[in-house]
Amino acid sequence: MDAPALLNLERVQALETWLKTTNIKLTQVNAQRKYGGPPEGWDGPTPGAHCEVFISQIPRDTYEDLLIPLFSSVGPLWEFRLMMNFSGQNRGFAYAKYSSSGVAAKAVRLLHGHELAPGIRLSVCHSTEKRHLCIEGLPVTIRQGHLLQVLRVLAEGVETVFLKTGPGIEGVSAVVGFSSHHAASMAKRILMEALKEQFAVTVSIKWESTGKPNSGKPSPPRKPSKKPLASPLKQPRHILIPPQPSVLPAPPANRPFIPPGFCRAVGGPTGPYSLTLPANPPSPVPPPRGI
Query: According to the model, what pLDDT value does residue 214 have?
Result: 42
Query: According to the model, what pLDDT value does residue 62 have?
Result: 96
Least confident of 8-22, 94-108, 208-222, 234-248: 234-248
266 has pLDDT over 50: yes
Q: Are residues 58 and 172 in the same domain?
A: no
Residue 185 belongs to domain with CATH number: 3.30.70.330
Query: According to the model, what pLDDT value does residue 44 have?
Result: 81
Q: Are residues 146 and 255 in the same domain?
A: yes
Over the stretch 54-63, which tens digit does the pLDDT of each residue have? 999 999 999 9
Q: Is the dihedral of CA 157, 163, 166, 167 positive or negative?
A: positive
Q: From 83, 108, 126, give the residue that closes a domain.
A: 126
157, 148 contact by CB (below 8 A): no
Q: From 126, 151, 167, give the residue that closes a domain.
A: 126
Backbone angles phi, psi at 82, to 5 degrees: -105, 120
Number of domains in the chain: 2
Average pLDDT over residues 175-196: 88
Q: Are residues 253 and 155 in the same domain?
A: yes
Residue 98 is assigned to a structural domain of this protein: yes
DSSP character string of 143-194: -HHHHHHHHHHHSSSEEEEEEE--TT--SEEEEEEESSHHHHHHHHHHHHHH
Query: According to the model, what pLDDT value does residue 186 have?
Result: 87
Query: According to the model, what pLDDT value does residue 131 have?
Result: 86
Q: From 104, 126, 148, give the residue that closes a domain.
A: 126
Output the pTM of the full model.
Answer: 0.58
Q: Are residues 140 and 207 in the same domain?
A: yes
Residue 211 banded pLDDT, cuts 50, 70, 90: very low
Q: Are residues 181 and 217 in the same domain?
A: yes
Over the stretch 103-142, which tens digit does the pLDDT of each residue have? 999 999 999 999 998 999 999 999 887 889 999 999 888 8
Residue 171 banded pLDDT, cuts 50, 70, 90: confident
Query: According to the model, what pLDDT value does residue 256 have?
Result: 60
Query: According to the model, what pLDDT value does residue 189 have?
Result: 87
Q: Which domain holds residue 200?
A: 132-235+249-266
In terms of pLDDT, which residue wins out, 222 or 79? Answer: 79
Over the stretch 13-36, which tens digit does the pLDDT of each residue have? 999 999 999 999 999 987 899 999
